[in-house]
Structure 1
Amino acid sequence: MKVLIVSDTHGKDENLEEIVLRETPFDYFIHCGDVEGREIFMEALVECPCTIVSGNNDFFSDLPREVMIQLEGHRILVTHGHYYGVSMGLYGVLDEGKARECQVVLFGHTHRPVEETEEGILLLNPGSLSYPRQEGRRPSYAVMELQQGKAPVAEIRYL
């Protein structure tokens, strides 16, 4: 199963449209928050099952704060990350992932891509398609491959 993962698009759709075209076909779409009212557009654009959570800039949103999903036998926590202090380190999301017996924790908020495996849990932040903050400031996203009984494989990709 191919999963397309983005975060922190902040209402700007151009780069999202480009990566959807680039990565099609994919089986599932995940947005880790700060969509700023564009969730209906995104669901129509990707034409596949979606999980979209709210971020700290999704004021008055009906989107959930976080979601637990199961794909190909993998327990996955999807959150924006600001409630777990991801700007200060990964300990909060790691502890939450352990407490919920997750194999994957997906988050955003920092606008910096991260792909680390800690204590058997894949911690993945796709970065930002609209306002990247890492060195070089290239818009980024992630693609994750999931297979039942195999470890998740993820890759940060750049525009």
Structure 2
Amino acid sequence: MTKILIVSDSHGSTELLDDIKGKHAGDVSQMIHCGDSELSVDNESINGFTTVKGNCDFNADFPEEAFIEADGYKILVVHGHLYSVKSSLLSLSYRAEETGATIVCFGHSHLLGAEKIGDVLFINPGSIRLPRGRRERTYIILELKDEKAVLHVYDYDHGKMDALTQEFSVSR
């Protein structure tokens, strides 16, 4: 079983990132930041995260996309602004198909959500600093086991939100 911490849109807050890392460091094998950290690549708070460049990362030298192999799954990480994710996941689904990714992590909209389109699971952890559509500052721990992806949603201020736990079938 693999557990991956997924955050996005921290917009300059090193305190939030440090605290979340501290809470989950022993529980997860990988950490993803889906962009708009507004930090430099050498900032200690972003250290340990696979991080991509968001539309507010003006001075950061992060890649536009990243790929992670985890337990046989290919995960594509993008911010989402280059794929117009605020209006549709169509462009991003094409990119997932091109790359062979079966899981895509993205941010940009600050809206928590997950959905499966075809064979691809799309995950947006929301924003840990400036959420939209809800008050909770959210992030996700993705648990991969036996062709299943379980998404555990956390509210930064109040912990795990059991009512929002979702399970999806995913292929490797």
TM-score by length of 2: 0.81
> What corresponds to 2:155 in structure 1?
158
Aligned-residue CA RMSD (Å): 1.7
> What corresponds to 1:5 in structure 2?
6
- Contact 1:11–1:38 (Cα < 8 Å) also in 2: no
Taking a change above 3 Å as real, the CA distance of residues 155 and 92 of structure 1, as seen in their structure-2 partners, is: farther
Which deviates more, 29-38 or 121-130? Answer: 29-38
- 1:27 corresponds to 2:29: yes
Taking a change above 3 Å as real, the CA distance of residues 38 and 156 of structure 1, as seen in their structure-2 partners, is: farther
How many residue pairs are counted as aligned between the two chains? 153
- Contact 2:17–2:46 (Cα < 8 Å) also in 1: no
> What corresponds to 2:57 in structure 1?
58
Runs of at least 5 residues in structure 1 that lack an aligned partner in the other structure: none
Aligned partners of 1:13, 1:71: CA distance in 2, in Å? 26
Residue deviations 1:31-64 (CA, integer Å, cap 9, x gap): 00011115422244xxx5x311110000022110
Match for 2:3: what amino acid?
K
How many percent identity over aligned positions? 36
- Contact 2:78–2:105 (Cα < 8 Å) also in 1: yes
Runs of at least 5 residues in structure 2 that lack an aligned partner in the other structure: 157-172
Structure (1 or 2) with the greater strand fraction = 2
Q: Which runs of 4+ in 1 moved over 3 A?
A: none
Higher relative contact order (CA 8 A, sep 6+): 1
TM-score by length of 1: 0.87
Q: Secondary structure at the match of 1:152?
A: strand
- Contact 2:35–2:52 (Cα < 8 Å) also in 1: yes
Match for 1:154: what amino acid?
L
Shift of 1:114: 1.0
Match for 1:93: what amino acid?
L
